[in-house]
Amino acid sequence: MHFISTKGQANPVSFMEAMSRGLAPDGGLYVPDEMPLLPQKFWKSLPDTSLQEIGYKIARPFLQNEINPAALQKIIDDALNFKVPLVQITERMYVLELFHGPTLAFKDFGARFMARMFSRQLKNQEQEITILVATSGDTGSAVAHGFLGVPGVNVCLLYPAGKVSKLQEKQMATLGRNIKALRVEGTFDDCQRMVKQAFSDPELSKDIRLSSANSINIARLLPQSFYYVYGLAQMQERTDITPYFTVPSGNFGNLTAGLWALKMGMQAEHFIAATNRNDVVPKYLHGRSYQPRASRSTISNAMDVGDPSNFSRIQHLFDYSDEAIRKAIWGQSFTDDETRACIRRLFSETGYILDPHTAVGVLAAEKFHNETGETNPGIVLSTAHPAKFGDVVEPLINQPVPMPERLKRCMDKKILSSPIEADFAALKSFLMENY
Ligand SMILES: *Cc1c(COP(=O)(O)O)cnc(C)c1O
What pLDDT, on a 0 to 100 scale, did the predictor assign at position 233?
Answer: 98
Say whether pLDDT at 282 is over 80: yes
What is the span of the domain harbouring residue 252?
83-106+221-403
Indicate which residue's Cα is closest to atom 14 of ligand 1: 302
Q: Which of 260, 1, 248 is nearest to 107 (CA)?
A: 248
Nearest atom (ligand 1) to Cα of 358? 11
Average pLDDT over residues 316-320: 97
Nearest atom (ligand 1) to Cα of 357? 11
Q: Which of 259, 231, 253, 250 is nearest to 296 (CA)?
A: 250
The reply to whether 238 falls in a domain is yes
140: CA distance to ligand 1 center in Å?
13
What pLDDT, on a 0 to 100 scale, did the predictor assign at position 69?
Answer: 97
List pocket residues of ligand 1, CB cut-off 6 Å: 105, 107, 138, 248-254, 302-303, 357, 383-384
Quick one: pLDDT band at residue 378, thresholds 50, 70, 90?
Answer: very high
Residue 175 DSSP class? -
What pLDDT, on a 0 to 100 scale, did the predictor assign at position 266?
Answer: 98
The reply to whether 330 falls in a domain is yes
Q: How far is 298 from 318, CA to CA, in rounded Å?
A: 30
Say whether pLDDT at 200 is over 90: no
Sheet order of strands, 329-333 included? 86-88, 93-97, 378-382, 244-248, 271-275, 329-333
Q: How far is 378 from 434, CA to CA, in rounded Å?
A: 49
Share of the chain above pLDDT 90, in %: 81
Quick one: pLDDT band at residue 92, thresholds 50, 70, 90?
Answer: very high
- CATH number for the domain spanning 271: value is 3.40.50.1100
Say whether pLDDT at 33 is over 90: yes
- 166 an active-site residue? no
Residue 388 DSSP class? G
Distances from the Cα of 387 to the Cα of 90, 145, 227, 403, 404, angstroms: 22, 18, 22, 6, 8
Indicate which residue's Cα is closest to atom 1 of ligand 1: 302
Q: How far is CA 330 from the centre of its chain?
A: 20
Average pLDDT over residues 108-131: 88
Q: Which residue has the higher pLDDT, 288 or 140?
A: 288
Catalytic pick among 57, 107, 180, 388: 107
The reply to whether 37 falls in a domain is no
How many helices and strands, by DSSP H and E, does the chain display? 19, 13
Q: How far is 64 from 315, CA to CA, in rounded Å?
A: 26
Nearest atom (ligand 1) to Cα of 224? 7
Number of folded domains that form the chain = 1
User: Which secondary structure element, helix H or strand E, spans residue 273, and what is its range?
Assistant: strand 271-275
Q: How far is 266 from 300, CA to CA, in rounded Å?
A: 29
Say whether pLDDT at 363 is over 80: yes
State the pTM of this model: 0.94
Share of the chain above pLDDT 70, in %: 100
Q: How many CB atoms lie within 10 A of CB 81?
A: 13
The reply to whether 56 falls in a domain is no
The reply to whether 358 falls in a domain is yes
- Would you state the torsion angle of the CA atoms of residues 241, 247, 248, 249, taken in this order, to the nearest 10 degrees? -170
106: CA distance to ligand 1 center in Å?
8
Indicate which residue's Cα is closest to atom 11 of ligand 1: 383
- Over the stretch 286-305, which tens digit does the pLDDT of each residue have? 999 999 998 898 999 989 98
The reply to whether 337 falls in a domain is yes
The reply to whether 262 falls in a domain is yes
Q: Please give the backbone phi and psi of residue 177, each rounded to the nearest 5 degrees, phi first.
A: 50, -125
Nearest atom (ligand 1) to Cα of 251? 8
- Over the stretch 159-198, which tens digit does the pLDDT of each residue have? 999 988 888 899 999 999 999 999 999 988 899 889 989 9
Average pLDDT over residues 339-347: 98
The reply to whether 368 falls in a domain is yes
What pLDDT, on a 0 to 100 scale, did the predictor assign at position 205?
Answer: 83
Average pLDDT over residues 328-336: 98
What pLDDT, on a 0 to 100 scale, did the predictor assign at position 185?
Answer: 96
- Which residues are 248's β-sheet partners? 274
Average pLDDT, the chain: 94
39: CA distance to ligand 1 center in Å?
30
